[in-house]
Structure 1
Amino acid sequence: MEEYLKSQGVERLELVVASSIGADLAMAFLTGTKLPIGHVFFDGGQFAQIGKGMRRMMTPFLYFAIKSLYWSKGGTLKKILWCDDDSIKPYFIAAGKNLTYTNLRRQILDSLEDKLFPSLSKEMQRHLYFEFGSIEDHFKYRQAVMEAYPCGHYPVFEGYDHMQYQIRDPKGFAEMLAFIAAHDGMPKLPFIRKCEDPI
């Protein structure tokens, strides 16, 4: 990925954004890249400490769940995620259509690690934002991430489910990200529980 970015003339990443299982992969990228990075925003990152055996067992179930989105023309989306918005169905259907078992297996094995979280400098941590919705299942991973990266930021979207803000209001989500990049902090949005508030 870094070679591709450099081939495109990218010398700095002002903002890296990753969601759900993609946050695990973005973290792997962060620990290996030499490109300067301004800020990182994780939306509902799983950061699950799951052993290899369990990951192997999960793969076929996740494969059929995601493939079902294509087979059912999005009809199973609400069973897999919390919503079935018409605006996002085409993306999930396309994901189901294009998914291969081999690619999913590689992604699962490369993420959901059972190892310790990678070490990040205090300076890098100060520019990391780990956001979780207060009612999403992944909220349970927040404490472990806070302990691993004590200098990071941990806003909670009160009353929101997994990735719900970016799906329901992509414009507002983009404006929030632009604010973080420009002002090195979270904007004051009414549903955000303050970063320093206790869990």
Structure 2
Amino acid sequence: VEDFLHRQGVERLAMVVASSIGADLAMAFLTQTKLPVEHAFFDGGQFAQIGKGTRRIMTSFLYFAIKSLYWSKGGTLKKILWCDDDSIKPYFIAAGENLTYTNLRRQMADSLEDKPFLPLPEKLQEHTYFEFGSKEEHFKYRQAVMEAYPCGHYPVFEGYDHMQYQICDPKGFAGMLTHIAERDCMPELPFIRK
């Protein structure tokens, strides 16, 4: 990723944003990149400390769950995620169509580690936001992340499920990210618990 960014002439990143399992991969990038990163925002990052044996089982389960979205033309979305919004179905169907078992296995191997959390410089922690919805399953990982990165920010989206704000109000979500990048703080939103 860093080689690609260098080839594009990128010399700094205003913000790294990642969601769900992608947060594990973005954290690995943040701890290794030489590019200056000004802010990071994780939406429902799992940061789960899960052993290799469990990851093997999860890979098969997730593969069939995501493939079912393609096979059912989005009909299983409500069973896999908390919603079945017609506007997001095409993205999940495309993900199911293009997913390969090998790619999922690689992603699972690169994330959900059973090792200690990767070190993140204190200065970057101060500009990093680890957001969790109060209703999402991943909320249970929040305390472990707070202990690993004590200088970070940990807003809770009260009454929201996994990635719900991002999915239901992408413009509002983008506006929130812009606010963070410009003012280095969360905007005043009625559902945020700090």
Which TM bucket (shorter chain)? over 0.9
1:150 aligns with 2:153: no
User: Could you list the per-position Cα deviations for residues 110-137 of structure 1 after superposition, in whole angstroms to 9, with x for gaps in the alignment?
Assistant: 1000000011121111011000000100
1:167 aligns with 2:167: yes
Aligned to 1:38, the other structure's residue is in SS state coil
Q: In the alignment, residue 35 of structure 2 is paired with which amino acid?
A: L
Aligned to 1:37, the other structure's residue is in SS state coil
User: Could you list the per-position Cα deviations for residues 80-101 of structure 1 after superposition, in whole angstroms to 9, with x for gaps in the alignment?
Assistant: 0000000000000000000000
The alignment yields a C-alpha RMSD, in angstroms, of 0.4
Aligned to 1:17, the other structure's residue is in SS state strand
Count matched residues.
194
Q: In the alignment, residue 156 of structure 1 is paired with which amino acid?
A: V
Distance 2:121 2:31 in 1: 10
User: What TM-score does the superposition give when structure 2 sets the normalisation length?
Assistant: 0.99
Distance 2:121 2:33 in 1: 14
Aligned to 1:13, the other structure's residue is in SS state coil
- Structure 2 match to 1:42: 42
- Structure 2 match to 1:7: 7
- Structure 2 match to 1:69: 69
Distance 2:59 2:176 in 1: 34
User: Could you list the per-position Cα deviations for residues 116-161 of structure 1 after superposition, in whole angstroms to 9, with x for gaps in the alignment?
Assistant: 0011121111011000000100000000000000000000000000
Mind listing any 5+ residue stretches in structure 2 that lack a counterpart? none
User: What TM-score does the superposition give when structure 1 sets the normalisation length?
Assistant: 0.97
Aligned to 2:162, the other structure's residue is in SS state coil
Q: How much identity, in percent, do the aligned residues show?
A: 81
Distance 1:84 1:103 in 2: 25
Mind listing any 5+ residue stretches in structure 1 that lack a counterpart? 195-199
Distance 2:52 2:91 in 1: 29
- Structure 1 match to 2:85: 85
